[in-house]
Amino acid sequence: MNEKIKAARDIITNYSGRPLRIMEVCGTHTHEIFKIGLRKLLPENVELISGPGCPVCVTPVGFIDEACWLALEKGCVITTFGDLIRVPGTEMSLAGARAKGAQVRPVYSPMDAVEMARQNPDEQIVFLAVGFETTTPSACLAAETAKKEGLENFSLLTANKTMPNAYAALEGSADAFLYPGHVNAITGTGICEELKAKGVSGVVAGFTASELLTAMAVILKNAESGEPFFVNCYPRVVKAEGNPAAQKLVAKVMEPCDSEWRGLGVIPMSGMKLKDEYAEYDARKKYAMPKITGKPNPACRCGDVLQGKCKPSDCKVFGRGCTPEHPVGACMVSDEGACSAYYQYGME
Amino acid sequence: MCVGLSAKVVSVKDGTALIDAQGAKREVSADLLEELEPGDYVMVHAGVAIAKITQSDEDETVDIMENLI
Amino acid sequence: MAENTVTLAHGAGGKQTSELISKVFKAHFSNPEFTADDAAVLNIPQDRIAFTTDGFIVSPFEFNGGNIGKLSICGTVNDLSCMGAKPMYMTCAFVIEEGFPMDKLEEIAAAMEKTAKEAGVKIVAGDTKVAGKGQVDKVFITTTGIGCIMDNAHTSGTYAKPGDAVIVTGDVGRHGCTILLARDEYGIDADVDSDCAPLWGTVESLYTVTDDIHVIRDATRGGVGTVLYEIAEQSKVGIRLNAADIPVDPAVKGVCGMLGLEPLYLACEGRLVIFAPQDKAQAIVDKLHEGKYSKNAAIIGTVTEDNVGRVVMETEIGAQTLLPQPGGELLPRIC
């Protein structure tokens, strides 16, 4: 352990200020924080809450039902980030659909799904576009590429989400935010400055052990004064202006829409959908999809977990009916989900 | 929500960059970054280079801690 | 074309079956005990024998550093070796998909011959079935083996004791990473080859250092992480690992970083996890460093009395956290 890591550790373990609730918004942060054991270093008066930043976790049940419909009723090949495959829908997950003969393929990038469409002109390829500001540009790039090349067998099923209105919905749930570094790499830090002006504190954090440790130290050091603060602890990646080319592309291809978040309900203008010019790449329009409303399992408290209203272990099915092998809710599926992390890392 | 990978750019051609992360190589889209050159370091997410990055996390951590103490 | 591929006639039990057996299998597996009768007749020189069987399906069937033939010998040889048993005899049963190229079958048999020779084991009986196109994925192999347990070897998954050192004989996750890359589903390219290797020699070398070895287990499809949880459970102990000491090839680390995977849960086919008293550990590792398949051997942790059934990781920021439990299907985590 080098000196700086030790210094950061000392700041954290010796913190004796007012009680603090810190929310890590990003699922990758949740995952890494558990992996490096950062929670174990926190003093008793500092609580770390996992926020709604795992795209798999906030994706509503109905989205899985829509994907299963495309796969089973329309015979589409579903391409997706791997984590979504085991998320339960109303009747089945995509893994369940696969067992019924649906074609479901994990991909690394939406651009790989485009390539699959090029190589297989007789197959209808649908990419499940989930994710936040970090991931949305890659989906837009896929739609833009498909349009440019006139690919007729590629489309997106969108459930992309944006953070700003989610922060508003989360108001009061934490004293400081650990902002999602890779979202800010795209959007820049303007939103963080605005939140600071409204009295909301936070730091932009990176993802390695030393980055997370220092970000936590910066929060605790700044919290002592009681004044709202914002620090960019990830300037090697996050610039104030973000990534203008990505912002421009997203503005060209997609537009804001109301969006349903698992457990949080519909948050106005918190989602992104393809613009009308890209209608032929919108799977809902292309396949004239009927309105599909999912029915989540009523015993599951993923919604409360995502808002920091309860700990995963407060949920009745946690660790009993709901485990990573047999998940009831999405938060138990993804490695980034709070329930999965609590379960895997043996938190009570 | 966003697993990122820092990697070195090996070559760039027609909006595509070949990147190298400790010996793991892959082609990723370079469309969202201007003037990417071999030798640059980038942050990659879902097959797209989303940011040009400058120094190692260790160096940056040292800077931040020095400011803090 | 018909001559160059395996046909249903090759599995019908008639003349063509005999031809296939003599042309491909007998040519490679020939030894005095290889039987033409219904069963091989063997002389077993001592009373304690180890006996095991394993089925092999791998897609693709050939990969960097080996093929399914080599794998099918290594798997059974290593299972025997982990019991301190010198592998003696093996049988193998093939299920081959109609249309499988004959030259590939030859390559598989040749790899089996070479690996068996290295491990000092004789293939004494076999079986061949041909399944219709699409009924199996190219070729499946099942091998069964018998080994003689050395008098001085007493190992079991239940013998790990608090204070034992945990040793791994090389960098973890190479086979799983190789297969992942060979499937080419994620467009990633890396210079990684499988660790697939027959490990009798490695086990034998351990006993030149000490007889006091508590557990030897080979990590297979569940990776080293799964083995650690198995042993913690079987021996009713805890295991503490030091994250920084776990050997991982940089390219494997890079691939795992891209896909959000944990190297400890990627498959190995040539790595042992050894539990032995702390005071013998360094001598064991020094000996392992001389071996062909254990140059990167390392002590990665210790056995504890507390945290029974759990694997605890000492992390790079000096905190302790659980190694997540082994999961199901490996799916990349990207967003």
Note if the bond before C60 is cis, omega within 30 degrees. Answer: yes
Q: Which domains does chain C have, with CATH numbers?
A: 2-149 (3.30.1330.10), 164-322 (3.90.650.10)
Give yes or no for a contact between A341 and A306, defined as CB atoms under 8 angstroms apart. no
The residues, any chain, with a CB within 8 Å of residue A43's CB and separated by 6 or more, are A12, A13, A14, A15, A16
CA of C261: which chain B residue's CA is closest?
Answer: B3
- Is A260 in CB contact (< 8 Å) with chain C? no
* Beta strands A265-274 and A160-161, pairing class: antiparallel
pLDDT (mean) for C82-110:
95
From chain A, the residues in CB contact with C315 under 8 A are 35-37, 209
Weakest mean pLDDT among A168-177, C64-73, C244-253: A168-177
Residue A55: both structure tokens together? 């795209």
pLDDT number for residue C38: 85
Q: A82 pLDDT exceeds 70?
A: yes
pLDDT tens for B2-59 read 789 899 999 999 999 999 999 999 999 999 998 899 999 999 999 999 999 986 777 7
Beta strands in chain C (DSSP E): 49-56, 62-63, 66-67, 85-97, 122-131, 139-149, 164-168, 188-190, 215-219, 238-242, 271-277, 298-304, 311-314, 320-322
Give C1's pLDDT tier (boundaries 50, 70, 90): very low
Is the ipTM value over 0.85, yes or no? yes
pLDDT (mean) for A93-120:
96
pLDDT (mean) for C248-263:
91
- Residue in C260, C315, C325 nearest the CB of A344: C325
Q: A107 pLDDT exceeds 50?
A: yes
CA distance A196 to C77: 64
Q: Which domains does chain A have, with CATH numbers?
A: 3-53+174-183+194-232 (3.40.50.11750), 57-162+242-286 (3.40.50.11740), 302-340 (no CATH)
Q: What is the DSSP-derived secondary structure letter of residue C197? A: -
CA distance C152 to C213: 10
- Is A130 in CB contact (< 8 Å) with chain C? yes
Other C-beta atoms lying within 10 Å of the C-beta of residue A337: 31
CA of C191: which chain B residue's CA is closest?
Answer: B23
pLDDT (mean) for A103-112:
94
Give chains near A: 3+ CB pairs under 8 A: B, C
SS3 C65: coil
From chain C, the residues in CB contact with A161 under 8 A are none
Give C329's pLDDT tier (boundaries 50, 70, 90): low
pLDDT tens for A192-241 read 999 999 999 999 999 999 999 999 999 999 998 889 999 999 999 999 99
Q: Do C257 and B5 touch (CB under 8 A)?
A: yes
pLDDT number for residue A324: 84
CA of C330: which chain A residue's CA is closest?
Answer: A82
Q: A253 pLDDT exceeds 80?
A: yes
Identify which of A6, A51, A44, A54 has the alpha carbon closest to the alpha carbon of residue A330.
A54
CA distance C310 to C238: 5
* Beta strands C139-149 and A230-232, pairing class: unpaired
pLDDT tens for C8-23 read 988 888 888 888 888 8
Q: Do B46 and C335 touch (CB under 8 A)?
A: yes
Q: How many CA atoms lie within 13 A of A253 on its CB side?
A: 25
From chain C, the residues in CB contact with B41 under 8 A are none
pLDDT (mean) for C110-123:
96
Per-window interface: A 41-60 vs B, CB < 8 A? 53-55
pLDDT (mean) for A80-97:
92
From chain B, the residues in CB contact with A210 under 8 A are 57-58, 61
User: In terms of C-beta density within 10 A (0-12 exposed, 13-18 middle, 19 or more buried), how is residue C125 classed?
Assistant: buried
- Residue in B22, B25, B44 nearest the CB of C253: B22
Cβ contacts from A onto B, under 8 A: 128
pLDDT number for residue A51: 82
The residues, any chain, with a CB within 8 Å of residue C36's CB and separated by 6 or more, are none
Q: C2 pLDDT exceeds 50?
A: no
pLDDT tens for A294-327 read 888 888 888 888 877 888 999 999 988 898 888 8
Q: Which domains does chain B have, with CATH numbers?
A: 5-68 (2.30.30.140)
Mean pLDDT, chain A, as a whole number?
92
Q: Do A28 and B4 touch (CB under 8 A)?
A: yes
Give yes or no for a contact between B29 and A115, defined as CB atoms under 8 angstroms apart. no
Q: Do B1 and A131 touch (CB under 8 A)?
A: yes
Q: Do B22 and C334 touch (CB under 8 A)?
A: no
Give C328's pLDDT tier (boundaries 50, 70, 90): low
Residue C9: both structure tokens together? 């006639």
CA of C186: which chain B residue's CA is closest?
Answer: B26
CA distance B19 to B40: 10
Q: Do C186 and B21 touch (CB under 8 A)?
A: no
CA distance A113 to A228: 44
pLDDT tens for C48-87 read 899 999 999 999 999 999 999 999 999 999 999 999 999 9
Other C-beta atoms lying within 10 Å of the C-beta of residue C26: 16
How distant, in Å, are the alpha carbons of A128, C83, C149, C206, C289 from that of C152? 58, 11, 8, 11, 23
Which stretches of chain C sit within 8 Å of chain B by CB? Answer: 186-192, 250-251, 253-255, 257-258, 260, 333-335
Give chains near B: 3+ CB pairs under 8 A: A, C
C158–chain A nearest CA distance, Å? 23
pLDDT tens for C146-179 read 999 999 999 999 999 999 999 999 999 999 999 9
Weakest mean pLDDT among A42-56, A145-159, A284-298, C109-123: A42-56
* Beta strands C85-97 and C122-131, pairing class: parallel
Please report which residue ranges of chain C form alpha helices under DSSP H. 15-20, 27-29, 68-81, 102-119, 174-182, 200-206, 223-235, 250-259, 278-290
Per-window interface: A 283-342 vs B, CB < 8 A? 336
pLDDT number for residue C331: 63
pLDDT number for residue A67: 98
pLDDT number for residue C335: 47
B30–chain C nearest CA distance, Å? 16
- Residue in B3, B28, B68 nearest the CB of A28: B3
Q: Tokens 């190694």 map to which residue?
A: C323
- Residue in B23, B44, B45 nearest the CB of C191: B23
Give yes or no for a contact between C132 and C10, defined as CB atoms under 8 angstroms apart. no
From chain C, the residues in CB contact with A334 under 8 A are 333
